[in-house]
């Protein structure tokens, strides 16, 4: 009888330990599930930061033979390049028309006059400027030295961009820098280096939900080949800002095959001395069935997107 009692006690102890083990396993599963849920929530929150908010407006301003592209999201105003010296009045008028008083980010693709010539307008005290970005290359250009001096005097932060940098434009819009490479920036900062400003242009891909636009400065075929080798099919974008004002020195066929643009927008002046856009380039755009717009013919070109689709409007005055 005593042996039988001990047997029952042993059995009860075994069952108790077994149930305790099951309880521990169940608690561990719940903890794991809770951790997984938390991780999923964090991931979801991270995804939500890039979800488009409202719409984005991208205006290729009609400022003659130069570049000035105004980007407005729900949170920020960004200006990529500032037109030429002799087009400052046009730039001022276009900014006033858009109601711009504050510019969060000014991005200067390279120090040629037709891209940085309007910086005097921005730094004369009429506008609040958040930060200035460029390609980090030193320049002996008087325009470059002048704006750098004035920006420093006003205490405006200056940053150099390189491949892989990502700028937040607010409202779910992001600008990923594709060029110049860091190695090129480092070479460009060395004394005696022979610069090629066009191929040192800041090139970046703007994404807003499912919408993408490629900004190219004056990058030519050499830079295009380097960018294509690094990014390949990642370059695909619905809209292409035609590099170098539609020059035949840019928009290589291989590059266009990767970008696959549906729309190409060209900034150029009517009857300009360079013959921009060149016929060879326009034929390439036609060959890929891309709709082409030119500021000299169509005026300011406005692209609006909700992150899913986009539309293009002409504002010829």
Give residue 317's pLDDT. 59
One pLDDT digit (tens) per residue for the chain, 317 residues: 444 444 444 544 444 444 444 443 333 333 233 333 333 332 333 333 468 899 999 999 999 999 999 999 999 999 999 999 999 999 999 999 999 999 999 999 999 999 999 999 999 999 999 999 999 999 999 999 999 999 999 999 999 999 999 999 999 999 999 999 998 988 888 888 889 999 999 999 999 999 999 999 999 999 999 999 999 999 999 999 999 999 999 999 999 999 999 999 999 999 989 999 999 999 999 999 999 999 999 999 999 999 999 999 998 75
Cβ-contact 181, 219 below 8 angstroms: no
- Per-residue pLDDT of 176-211, as tens digits, reads 999 999 989 888 888 888 899 999 999 999 999 999
How many Cβ atoms are within 10 Å of 98's Cβ, its own excluded?
Answer: 16
Give residue 316's pLDDT. 77
- Pairing state of beta strands 291-294 and 300-305? unpaired
In angstroms, the CA 132 to CA 214 distance is: 20
Give residue 30's pLDDT. 33
Give residue 201's pLDDT. 97
Nearest to 78 by CA among 68, 86, 88, 87: 68
In angstroms, the CA 285 to CA 9 distance is: 88
- Per-residue pLDDT of 243-289, as tens digits, reads 999 999 999 999 999 999 999 999 999 998 999 999 999 999 999 99
Give residue 39's pLDDT. 30
Q: Residue 170 — left, alpha, or beta (φ > 0 → left; ψ -120 to 50 → alpha)? A: left
In angstroms, the CA 85 to CA 121 distance is: 10
Cβ-contact 184, 67 below 8 angstroms: no
The structural domains of the chain, with segments of one domain joined by +, span 1-48, 56-315
In angstroms, the CA 72 to CA 59 distance is: 9
Side-chain half-sphere exposure of 64, counting CA atoms within 13 A: 19
In angstroms, the CA 296 to CA 64 distance is: 7
In angstroms, the CA 66 to CA 272 distance is: 10
What is the chain's length? Answer: 317
Give residue 51's pLDDT. 85
Q: What kind of fold does domain 56-315 have according to CATH? A: Metallo-beta-lactamase; Chain A (3.60.15)
């Amino acid at each position: 009888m005593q042996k039988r009692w001990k047997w029952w006690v042993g059995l009860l102890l075994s069952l108790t330990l077994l149930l305790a083990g099951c309880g521990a396993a169940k608690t561990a599963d719940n903890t794991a599930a809770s951790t997984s849920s938390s991780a999923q929530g964090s991931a979801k929150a991270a995804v939500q930061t890039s979800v488009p908010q409202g719409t984005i407006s991208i205006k290729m301003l009609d400022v003659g033979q130069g570049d000035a592209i105004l980007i407005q999201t729900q949170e920020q105003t960004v200006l990529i390049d500032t037109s030429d010296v002799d087009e400052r009045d046009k730039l001022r008028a276009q900014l006033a028309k858009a109601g711009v008083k504050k510019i969060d980010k000014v991005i200067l693709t390279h120090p040629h006059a037709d891209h940085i010539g309007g910086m005097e307008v921005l730094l004369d005290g009429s506008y609040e400027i958040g930060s200035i970005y460029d390609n980090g290359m030193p320049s002996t250009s008087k325009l470059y030295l002048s704006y750098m001096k004035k920006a420093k005097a006003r205490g405006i932060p200056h940053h150099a961009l390189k491949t892989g940098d990502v700028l937040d434009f607010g409202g779910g819009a992001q600008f990923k820098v594709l060029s110049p490479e860091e190695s090129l920036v480092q070479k460009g900062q060395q004394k005696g280096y022979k610069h090629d400003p066009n191929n040192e242009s800041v090139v970046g891909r703007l994404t807003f939900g499912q919408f993408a636009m490629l900004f190219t400065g004056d990058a030519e075929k050499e830079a295009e080949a380097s960018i294509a080798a690094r990014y390949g099919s990642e370059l695909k974008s619905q809209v292409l800002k035609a590099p170098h004002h539609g020059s035949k020195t840019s928009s290589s066929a291989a590059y266009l095959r990767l970008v696959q643009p549906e729309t190409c927008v060209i900034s150029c002046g009517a009857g300009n001395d360079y013959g921009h856009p060149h016929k060879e380039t326009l034929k390439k755009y036609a060959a890929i069935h891309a709709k082409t717009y030119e500021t000299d013919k169509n005026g300011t070109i406005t692209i609006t997107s909700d992150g899913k689709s986009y539309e293009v409007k002409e504002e010829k005055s």
